[in-house]
Chain A
């Protein structure tokens, strides 16, 4: 790309070896897709790229730079999963034909025979999927980019998945499950543990208005608490962080819309 450009005549023909800290400064500025490809450059690069702290700095970089990092879409057909990689920077100029044929079949290393067992992709957030395997009732957190996964310990009991997200303040992924009685369970990726949280007895159950509930940075913002004691138009929206539940009033225009619908 830059070959053949004018070269000040220093150490001609000799390569300049960059020290590891500068290599890291360059790698951290690359999009995910390039990084995954460059894992196979040499044995020195692979651990740098797969280090979780590196991933965090890379994410911060891609957020601050105006260049959008690449995103992907997972498409599930009957028997297999496919991944379509989107370069959001060039999306506008892309023709539909360019996108065709770029679906790549993927298969989770934690369970290559997933399709035979039945599975649900419960939620996704920032490139991490939360997958429920029906046969074994196991929940996995899976990064399809790196094909790394973790089996989540069983929360016990019948619980409903409502949220999955990343809490930037503690650098932790969390899963929120709700029982139909009076508690929720919050899984912390960092601690690899479930925590049971009670909430006020007047709240009968949590209801997800949108099954793609996710944390908005620190708050799980799409949960709606329904209080049984209230009439149906008095739903209370909650901005909820797994470790602190606090109520806020639902915005009036939403309430109004609901009334019109009824």
Chain B
């Protein structure tokens, strides 16, 4: 598959948890520190084979999204981080998803060590939940209210202003 005659790899194959294979350009894969580390290790060993990287924690749906992000950011890799077009793209990219997808994407970004995507997801989630009520937060993160009604009332009374 790889036509490069040097010892450096041009592409890698990434396997999702549900056993789908994705052929990924090295520049794109390098957006993830996890994939980059794997590639660097293989190159040090001087292998010419196409390597397969299994990601046991990432489903193909989410992996597709991470790779879409990596592809876009690889195109802008030489630009400075403040590229407005890229920022706009980031925002449009995340806007499409519901919280469950955002949470999965955040976990995948963390697992694949794609720092900029992780920061982006966390900031996006924070921005979109900041005005929500406690009840809505519990729904989104599927959190059970383990306070007694009295305890909850006490916390609310202490900080009444934050609930208005």
- A residues sitting closer than 8 Å to B (CB atoms) are 1-11, 14-19, 21-23, 25-27, 29-31, 33-34, 36-46, 65, 67, 72, 83, 85, 102, 104-106, 109, 145-147
Contact = CB atoms under 8 A, between A and B. Distances in A.
Contact of B100 (A4, A15, A38, A44): A15
A33 B122 contact: no
Q: Which 5 A-B pairs have the closest CB atoms?
A: A15-B142, A29-B126, A104-B161, A36-B162, A16-B103
Contacts of A9: 61
Interface string B67-104: 00000000000000000000000000001111111111
A42 B147 contact: yes
Contact of B107 (A15, A22, A38, A40): A22
Interface in B87-130: 95-104, 106-107, 110, 118, 122-123, 125-130
A7 B137 contact: no
Interface of B: 59, 61-62, 64-65, 95-104, 106-107, 110, 118, 122-123, 125-134, 137-138, 141-147, 152, 155-156, 158-164
A7 B97 CA distance: 6
Contact of A40 (B100, B103, B155): B155
Given A22-B107, A41-B137, A42-B146, A14 B155 contact: no
B159 A147 contact: yes
B159 A39 contact: yes
Contacts of B159: 36-37, 39, 145-147
Contacts of B61: 8-10
B100 A43 contact: no
Contact of B138 (A14, A39, A42): A42
A33 to B, nearest CB: 5
11 contacts: A5-B96, A10-B62, A11-B59, A16-B103, A27-B126, A36-B159, A37-B163, A39-B155, A40-B147, A67-B127, A104-B161
